[in-house]
């Protein structure tokens, strides 16, 4: 029986999952290292609270791709029904943010962090798939070299 | 884009004035913007109530609906018993009961009726869409002007 050489399939599989790994990593680590620290800095500042909270909300209003507000999960429901309408109305009316609203903005920041952690964990999963695909590809290559 | 009316309900009442009975039905519903980052503005549409046996329509206008929020649409139908009987029958509201309340024989508020969601529809004729980020830019420009 003729042995089928699957090395091409393994190679294509490895490349695809590697690309997904890189994409997920880029999205997640951009949020972890750039966006989230900036938002945390704005929310922890004692001066110019109204302006800083507004800038923080402007960034939070653009959610992390894995933590979008229209996603159907228990946490998103409370944010979607209460926090987002409340803060959007506030911005629309030109009202200033207050110190008391800090904890609610931190809830939005936590959701963003959960999204980037989910993205990072998914990246690890795809990285492991990349290693698996690479391993199978090398094994298949070795077998085909030995046979020839 | 919203394509249906949520939480439809109606308030039916009768009023006796100059020995004549006038019936009115106020139909109310909510139009929800389910988008997470799109603002709907200058929404013009038509609200349609009824089925194969009875139907009524009324235009509506909503200035702005922010993401995950709702705007209210309403339609008022008024007339004498003959004019209003089709809609009262459609809503399964008893004329006698309304007359009792109007004449004061029975205390209580006007009759609130829940409407089946398939009996009320809407269509949007025109609507402007804006990204949610525009409200930050609008207010930002306003803040700059005020400084």
Query: Taking 90 as the threshold, does the pLDDT of residue B43 lie above it?
Result: yes
- Residue located via tokens 């235009």: B59
The answer as to whether B128 is a domain residue is yes
Which helix (DSSP H) or strand (DSSP E) does residue A30 occupy? helix A7-30
Q: Which residue has the higher pLDDT, A105 or A71?
A: A105
Taking residues B80-105, what's their average pLDDT?
80
Of B34, B66, B142, the CB nearest to A88: B66
- 3-state SS assignment for residue B128: strand
Q: Could you give the C-alpha distances from B106 to A27, B91, B115, in angstroms and in order?
A: 66, 21, 24
DSSP B36: S
User: What distance in Å separates the CA atoms of residue B10 and residue A48, rounded to the nearest whole number?
Assistant: 48
Q: In the prediction, which pLDDT does A36 show?
A: 95
Structure-model confidence comparison of residues B109 and A105, the more confident one: A105
Shortest distance between the Cα of A134 and any Cα of chain B, in A, equals 40
In the 8-state DSSP scheme, what is residue A69? T
A72: contact with B, CB 8 A cutoff: no
Tally of residues, chain B: 147
The model's pLDDT over A26-83, given as tens digits with 9 standing for 90+, comes to 999 999 999 999 999 999 988 899 999 999 999 999 888 888 887 767 777 888 889 9
Mean pLDDT of the residues in chain B: 83
Stretch B68-75: mean pLDDT, rounded?
Answer: 92
Please give the average per-residue pLDDT across B103-127, as a whole number. Answer: 75
**Mean per-residue pLDDT for B136-142?**
61
Q: How confident is the model at residue B141 (pLDDT cuts 50, 70, 90)?
A: very low
pLDDT tier at A12 (50, 70, 90 boundaries)? very high
Strands of the B6-17 sheet, one edge to the other? B70-79, B20-32, B6-17, B111-114
Percent of chain B with pLDDT over 70: 89
Q: A45, A67, A58, A50: which is closest to A88 by C-alpha?
A: A58
Nearest to B45 by CA among B116, B127, B129, B128: B127
Residue B93 domain boundaries: 6-146
Does position A7 have pLDDT exceeding 60, yes or no? yes
pTM attached to this predicted model: 0.76
Q: Among the listed ranges A109-123, B22-36, B108-122, B132-146, which one has the minimum average pLDDT value?
A: B132-146
The answer to whether residue B112 is domain-embedded is yes
A residues 83-102 closer than 8 Å to B (CB) = 84-85, 88-89, 91-92, 94
Closest approach of chain A CAs to the CA of B109, in angstroms?
30
**If you measure CA to CA, which chain A residue comes closest to B138?**
A92
Q: How far is B42 from chain A (nearest CA, A)?
A: 15
What's the complex ipTM?
0.72
Q: Residue B87 is encoded by which pair of tokens?
A: 């809609």
Please tell me which residue of chain A has the smallest CA distance to B39.
Answer: A88
> Is residue B1 included in any domain, yes or no?
no
Q: Are B40 and B127 in contact (CB under 8 A)?
A: yes
Task: Extract the tokens encoding B132.
Answer: 């949610």
Interface of B with A (CB under 8 A): 34-37, 64, 66-69, 132-133, 135-136, 139, 142
- Region A111-138: what's the mean pLDDT? 94
Across the A:B interface, residue pairs with CB atoms under 8 Å apart total: 43
pLDDT at A135 (0 to 100): 95
How many domains is chain B partitioned into structurally? 1
* Mean pLDDT score, B25-39: 91
**Which two structure tokens, joined as six digits, stand for B55?**
């139907």
Residue B90's pLDDT is what? 86
Quickly tell me which residue has 């943010």 as its tokens.
A97
pLDDT (0 to 100) of residue A23: 95
Q: Give residue-wise pLDDT tens across range A67-100.
A: 888 776 777 788 888 999 999 999 999 999 999 9
Mean pLDDT on B98-122: 72
- The nearest CA of chain B is from the CA of A95 a distance in Å of 10
Across the beta sheet with B120-131, the strand order is B55-65, B38-50, B120-131
Q: Which residues contact B59 (CB under 8 A, 6 or more apart)?
A: B44, B45, B46, B47
By CB atoms closer than 10 A (0-12, 13-18, 19+), residue B140 is middle
């Amino acid at each position: 029986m003729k042995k089928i050489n699957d090395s091409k399939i393994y190679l294509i599989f490895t490349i695809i999952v590697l690309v997904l790994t890189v994409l997920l990593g880029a999205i997640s680590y951009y949020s972890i290292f750039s966006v989230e620290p900036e938002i945390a800095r704005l929310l922890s500042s004692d001066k110019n609270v109204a302006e800083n909270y507004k800038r923080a909300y402007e960034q939070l209003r653009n959610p992390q791709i894995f933590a979008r507000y229209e996603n159907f999960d228990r946490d998103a429901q409370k944010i979607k029904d209460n926090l987002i309408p409340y803060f959007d109305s506030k911005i629309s009316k030109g009202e200033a943010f207050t110190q008391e609203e800090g904890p609610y903005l931190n809830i939005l920041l936590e959701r963003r962090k959960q999204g980037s952690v989910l993205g990072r964990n998914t990246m690890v999963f795809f990285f492991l798939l990349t290693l698996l695909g690479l391993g199978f590809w090398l094994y298949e290559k070795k077998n085909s070299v030995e046979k020839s | 884009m919203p394509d249906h009316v949520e939480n439809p309900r109606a308030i039916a009442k009768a009023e006796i004035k100059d020995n004549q009975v006038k019936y009115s039905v106020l139909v109310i519903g909510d139009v929800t913007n389910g988008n997470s980052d799109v603002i709907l503005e200058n929404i013009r549409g038509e609200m349609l109530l009824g089925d194969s046996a009875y139907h009524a329509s009324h235009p509506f206008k909503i200035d702005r609906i922010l993401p995950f929020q709702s705007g209210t649409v309403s339609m008022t139908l008024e007339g004498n018993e003959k004019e209003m009987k089709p809609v009262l029958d459609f809503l399964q509201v008893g004329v006698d009961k309304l007359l009792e309340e109007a004449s004061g024989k029975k205390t209580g508020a006007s009759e609130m009726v829940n409407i089946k969601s398939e009996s009320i529809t809407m269509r949007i004729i025109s609507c402007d869409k804006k990204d949610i980020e525009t409200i930050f830019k609008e207010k930002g420009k306003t803040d700059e002007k005020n400084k």
